[in-house]
Amino acid sequence: MAIFTTIEEISKYDGQEILLRGWLYNKRSSGKIHFLQIRDGSGFLQGVVVKNQVEEEVFKVCKELTQESSIEVIGIVQKDDRAKSGFELLVKDVKPLTIAEEGYPISLKEHGTDFLMDHRHLWMRTPKQNAILRIRDEINLAIRLFFHERGFILVEPPIITPSSCEGTTELFEIDYFGENAYLSQTGQLYAEAAAMAFGKVYSFGPTFRAEKSKTRKHLNEFWMVEPEMAFVDFEGNLKIQEEMIEYIVQKVLQNKQYELKVLDRDITKLESIKAPFARISYTDAVEMLKKADFEFEWGDDFGAPHETYIAEQFDKPVFITHFPTKMKAFYMQPDPNNSEVVLGADLIAPEGYGEIIGGSERIHDLDLILKKIQEENLPQELYEWYLDLRRYGSVPHSGFGLGLERTVAWICGIEHIRQTIPFARTLNRVYP
Ligand code: 4AD
Ligand code: MG
């Protein structure tokens, strides 16, 4: 009796007869041999069907199998150093479960991006896309483990919110029983409330921004992890960020070697991601850009070329700290030594991947946060609950937000963020 198993487990069965259930991903045939590319969800494996070693019927069945037909395969596991998985299957028997229609849209030839995105539901079956989403899963788990191991409580902020948290221009508006409501841009303000209840918390969920940006770094729906910590200052905030990034990268290196290989990722670049990271103040970064002949004034926001240039000056992720107060969100704590800048920082990933984290110490003084809300013309009545956090036992606290998809793109070393999420929502796309 063949042992039922999955491709992921195959190294345990070297030389033994196994049964796999999966799909025929691709096929090459000659008169005497079929090479079946089999996938079963857990991995990819080549099966070899040799005419004079199987029943005549089996060889005939293989000839008729179309791409993406579902199959049951029995065969002997054999070591093969040329295979990425290290093994292949010497096939004994193949049973078709369903024969897929002819004309499967995704062939192995090159397709245009729009075509692939239109067929995302099928594209995700292919090895590279599969590897990316498996690495996403690993990063997801690593983030949760990191915070869980350190005593952080997971809290889920609402997705439907009455007001803006991060800025008023990028909101998706919805009709909430005749009232205006918005899809959340960030869970931060709710995480702040939870931090005053639990000390250390994090939220992890989808966030929505109606940004009309069409870049390789922007999605309109993306996932963000947002820790928030009572009694933690600016310095402590950066430390936990460094520690978290190192932890995530190391987990991927430990557990996702095969996937990194499928993506041709240069892993020496990841191996060097160790805390502490580099730091530069916004003001020094501006000087650095000017020296390199960029047209840039103090108070301007960095664009992709600026971020890339700054990142290239360091061989690790770099924090840009102390941004101008005017550029940043209302809740950021001004530097007590210079109120023109805030105790906030962005973390810039290496290799041109840009900002992956934004964070800061929060204003904990009631009068100051009230003043900021008024200056920004935010509707105070909708922030009363947030002001209560400053009225009742306010303490210094800090937090940050890590964009999951940008992190996945960087660790995978892939060109565009749209490949890092199962079904991307971008300026021109809500299908499939
Ligand atoms: O810098 P942002 O806007 O910060 C916040 O929302 C804070 N409230 C977070 C906090 O302190 N709790 O966004 C945080 C991160 C960015 O660094 C980036 O990685 C990601 O979210 N991000 C996006 N990712 C994909 N597409 C977009 N349109 C993104 N906008 C932000
Ligand atoms: Mg930001």
Ligand 2 centroid distance, CA of 173 (Å): 21
Ligand 1 binding pocket includes 406 (Cβ within 6 Å): yes
Distance of CA 188 to the CA centre of its chain: 19
> What fold characterizes domain 120-420?
BirA Bifunctional Protein; domain 2 (3.30.930)
ipTM, interface predicted TM-score of the complex: 0.99
Separation of 332 CA from ligand 1 center, angstroms?
15
- Per-residue pLDDT, 235: 98
- Which class is 3-98 in CATH? mainly beta
| Length, in residues, of the chain | 432
CA of 281 to the centre of ligand 2 (A): 15
Pair type for strands 17-29 and 33-39: antiparallel
Give the nearest ligand 1 atom to 226 CA: 12
Nearest ligand, CA 210? 1
Give the predicted TM-score (pTM) of the model.
Answer: 0.97
Ligand 1 pocket, residue 403 CB under 6 Å:
yes
- Ligand 1 proximity of 256 Cβ (cutoff 6 Å): no
Ligand 1 neighbour 34 (Cβ under 6 A): no
Closest C-alpha to 139, from 354, 404, 333, 344: 404
Q: Across the strands, what pairs with 368?
A: none
Q: How far apart are CA 323 and CA 214, in angstroms?
A: 25
Residues 141 and 136: their CA atoms lie apart, in Å, by 9
Q: Which of 371, 360, 431, 370 is nearest to 401 (CA)?
A: 360
In 10 A of CB 230, how many CB atoms? 21
Cβ of 186 closer than 6 Å to ligand 1, yes or no, is yes
> What's the pLDDT score for residue 192?
98
Q: What confidence tens digit (pLDDT) does each residue in 342-389 have? A: 999 999 999 999 999 999 999 999 999 999 999 999 999 999 999 999
User: What residue segments make up the domains of the chain, in order of their start?
Assistant: 3-98, 120-420
With H, G, I as helix, E, B as strand and everything else as coil, classify residue 224: strand
Task: Name the one residue in this structure whose structure tokens are 């995530």.
Answer: 248
Cα of 345 to ligand 2 centre, how many Å?
9
Per-residue pLDDT of the chain (432 residues; tens, 9 = 90+): 899 999 999 999 999 999 999 999 999 999 999 999 999 999 999 999 999 999 999 999 999 999 999 999 999 999 999 988 899 999 999 999 999 999 999 987 889 999 999 999 999 999 999 999 999 999 999 999 999 999 999 999 999 999 877 776 799 999 999 999 999 999 999 999 999 999 999 999 999 999 998 999 999 999 999 999 999 999 999 999 999 999 999 999 999 999 999 999 999 999 999 999 999 999 999 999 999 999 999 999 999 999 999 999 998 999 999 999 999 999 999 999 999 999 999 999 999 999 999 999 999 999 999 999 999 999 999 999 999 999 999 999 999 999 999 999 999 999 999 999 999 999 999 999
Of 170, 208, 215, 224, the one to substitute when testing ligand 1's pocket (max ligand atoms within 8 A of C-beta) is: 224
Q: Are 244 and 385 in contact (CB under 8 A)?
A: no
Q: Which residues pair with 358 in a beta bridge?
A: 346, 401
Each residue's pLDDT tens digit, 77-126:
999 999 888 999 999 999 999 999 999 999 878 899 999 999 999 999 99
- The reply to whether ligand 1 has any atom less than 6 angstroms from the CB of 5 is no
* CB of 400 closer than 6 angstroms to any ligand 1 atom: yes
